[in-house]
Chain A
Amino acid sequence: MKKILILLFCLLPTFSFAGEAQDMAENPELEKRMIVLAEKLRCLVCQNESLASSHAELAEDLRREVRELMQKGMSNDEIVDYLVSRYGDFVLYDPPMKSYTMLLWFGPFALLLVAGLGLFFQLRQRRETVPEANLTPEAHQRAATLLNEEDKS
């Protein structure tokens, strides 16, 4: 009986800890999820920093907001929509494909295509314009011997 009591008393601290430990295990997960999401979002104050790495006060507020929205059970997409509806697409590092971002998404490929076509026609035109060398038989002979000498050396 005494032993069981001692054992129970020994276990007591673990019980009292259980509540706190669980809380701590819950928060880091949320924090991790928040950081992962915040890395994809732009801080509007210091525009070249993500929401996750910025020390601006607004970034802190927005991280708090994101944390709270997560606690409310909103999905990442819903949180992103929430922020976009307030701050615009600019908060996203990854610009969405829309009618006015077409140039951004496809402009480089269009440029590549234009440049490639330009190069293709330029090269074809050059092949046509470079004249075939007209050689007299003697000159032809001389060229052949010179080339042969080159081969032997």
Chain B
Amino acid sequence: MMRFLLPLVIFIVLAGFLFVGLGLNPREVPSPLIDKPAPAFTLPQLHSDNKQFSTADMKGKVWLLNVWASWCVSCREEHPVLMALSQQNIVPIYGLDYKDKPEDGKMWLARGGDPYVLSVMDREGRIGIDYGVYGVPETYVIDKQGVIRYKQIGPVNQQNLSEKILPLVAELQKQ
């Protein structure tokens, strides 16, 4: 009995591990920035580049920083979700236009709608490096103390919005 049972158990355990592995997304690398202060930046705004936006302006507010670009294909997928979210006025969304030409970025927002309070330009991708951006779109939930509490890698969709982002935002806003 034992000589059949043992290989079977080993097989089932191994198959279990492999099955779980199949469901994991290897592109989702856990960010070391979670629960760390969001890297500070001051960047020119996309729509009025003589004006600056600084992370320091956001102290005391819960906000979302969404990294996007006109060249980013998955951003098209999340764009309607962000548009709907911005209309609900739950949490302000700020955009980081990552490695984009300002004209292209403006055109993309003019065409599809602008869910952002404002967007800033990171033309060389340096702020992106500070935030550990490696696959646009990425979205950061930042709390009132300016600490990153959550990072969504890849598009925001109804599921991760209602399961993770919005409950977290509600909790952070109460604090």
Compute how far the CA of A90 lies from the CA of B31 in the bound complex, rounded to whole angstroms.
9
Inter-chain contacts of B135 with A (CB < 8 A): 44-45
Annotate B21-53 by CB proximity to A: 1 below 8 A, 0 otherwise: 000001101111100000000000000000000
A88 to B133 Cα, complex, angstroms? 11
A65 and B27 form a contact (CB under 8 A): no
Chain B, interface SS category: loop
Interchain CB contact (< 8 A) of A47 among B27, B33, B132: B27
Is B125 among interface residues, defined by CB-CB distance under 8 A? yes
B129 in contact with A88 (CB, 8 Å): no
A90 vs B26: C-alpha distance when bound (angstroms): 11
Q: Which of B26, B30, B99, B129 contacts A86 (CB 8 A)?
A: B129
B29–A88 CB distance below 8 A: yes
| Proximity string of chain B (105-125) to chain A, C-beta cutoff 8 Å, 1 when within and 0 when not | 000000000000000000011
> Which residues from B are CB-within-8-Å of A61?
124-125, 128-129
Q: Are A88 and B134 in contact (CB under 8 A)?
A: no
Q: Are the CB atoms of A62 and B29 closer together than 8 Å?
A: no
Bound complex: CA A62 to CA B128 (Å)? 11
A87 to B135, CA, bound (A): 12
Task: Give A45 to B134 CA distance when docked, in angstroms.
Answer: 6
Pair B26/A57 contact, Cβ less than 8 Å: no
Residues of B within 8 A of A86 (CB): 32-33, 129-132
Chain B hits for A58, CB < 8 A: 125, 134
CB within 8 Å of B: which of A56-94?
A: 57-58, 61-62, 65, 84-90
List residues of chain B with CB under 8 Å of any chain A CB: 26-27, 29-33, 99, 124-126, 128-132, 134-135
Task: Apart from A44-B135, A87-B134, list 14 A-B contacts with CB within 8 A.
Answer: A44-B134, A45-B135, A61-B128, A85-B32, A86-B32, A86-B33, A86-B129, A86-B130, A86-B131, A87-B29, A87-B31, A87-B32, A88-B31, A88-B132
